[in-house]
Amino acid sequence: MPELPEVAAHAERLSTEFGGAVLERFRPLTFTALKTVEPSPDVAIGGAVDAVTNRGKYLLLGVGPATFVIHLMQGGRLRPDEKQSASPRGGLARWWFDDGRALLLTEAGSEKRAGVWVVTGEPDRQPPLDGLGPDADSVSVDQLAHLLTDQSKRLHGVLRSQTILAGLGRRLANEVCHRARLSPFANASKLGPDEIESLHAGISACLADSLTAERARDDMSASKDRTASVHHRAGEACPICGDEVRTVSYVKYTVFYCATCQTGGKVLADNTTSKFLK
């Protein structure tokens, strides 16, 4: 799933390309694409695109008095629609502009979980954004320490929780833990001041590196093209110490880590009952 850097860089590209374009028509192409009933998308017709921004993993397309909040999920993409065919492959929703251009939301695969919310007023105060924590690139060390105070859970899971910190997913959780040299199974509420400093620095560095890489592209990267030191590098040498990158596998995701860099050389049990913390 695209994470904060991929979504932020793509928002910048779309804002540059479509800023000022006047919306002529919007149409959901599947029954499940539009997640809201009120207000009607028609409130945005005739409005100009103010900007395309992001909040965590969500794209925000501001048009006149309305904001289209878009979640790409894993296989979704929002791109200029040059063909504008009647039945685009994987098409979920389309925005037409008065200069003849269009934007098309598509999603690969059969799940079709990507979607669009239409809101007026402050988007952060309404679903689906109202339950998000602060964006991962906006918190200070002190704010991060406060967020972790009551999170007596494994650090990897806390980093992936959008209600605590918005924008990080599986790849960045793996990369941040490795960059900070912290066990992914460390109890988040028990991190000391130095560990929180390292965690904050790891978050900042990983986000900055990923954003720089994404800004160098013409389109959003595929998962396989995103840079990583440990994520999806099982069995390879850690670029820091040369030890083998190892994994702990779950049904829906895999934790990647380096034992030498992160767990004092201890190898975590590759099952859901491992109790090793740090």
Walking along the chain (278 residues) 10 residues at a time, the average pLDDT comes out as 96 98 97 96 98 98 98 95 94 97 93 93 97 98 97 97 98 98 98 98 98 96 91 97 96 94 93 48
Residues 64 and 163 in one domain: no
Angle at 57 between CA 124 and CA 6, to 5 degrees: 140
Residues spanned by the domain of 175: 141-262
Has residue 76 been placed in a domain? yes
Residues 120 and 150 in one domain: no
The pLDDT, as a whole number, for residue 271 is: 59
Residues 119 and 13 in one domain: yes
Residues 162 and 254 in one domain: yes
| Residue that is last in its domain, among 98, 125, 152 | 125
Number of domains in the chain: 2
Question: Nearest CA to 240 among 160, 154, 175?
Answer: 175
Has residue 56 been placed in a domain? yes
Residues 193 and 110 in one domain: no
| Residue that is last in its domain, among 125, 156, 188 | 125
Residues 59 and 151 in one domain: no
Residues 120 and 149 in one domain: no
The pLDDT, as a whole number, for residue 105 is: 98
Residue 142 φ then ψ, to 5°: -65, -40
CATH of the domain at 8: 3.20.190.10
Alpha-carbon span 182 to 245, nearest angstrom = 14
Has residue 77 been placed in a domain? yes
The pLDDT, as a whole number, for residue 110 is: 74
Residues 88 and 146 in one domain: no
Has residue 209 been placed in a domain? yes
Has residue 135 been placed in a domain? no
Alpha-carbon span 101 to 88, nearest angstrom = 15
Has residue 154 been placed in a domain? yes
Residues 151 and 117 in one domain: no
Residues 98 and 184 in one domain: no
Residues 9 and 89 in one domain: yes
Alpha-carbon span 239 to 271, nearest angstrom = 25
The pLDDT, as a whole number, for residue 80 is: 97
Has residue 272 been placed in a domain? no
Residues 73 and 178 in one domain: no
Has residue 201 been placed in a domain? yes
CATH of the domain at 182: 1.10.8.50
Alpha-carbon span 237 to 126, nearest angstrom = 45
Q: Are strands 58-63 and 76-80 parallel, antiparallel or unpaired?
A: unpaired
User: What's this model's pTM, rounded to 2 decimal places?
Assistant: 0.93
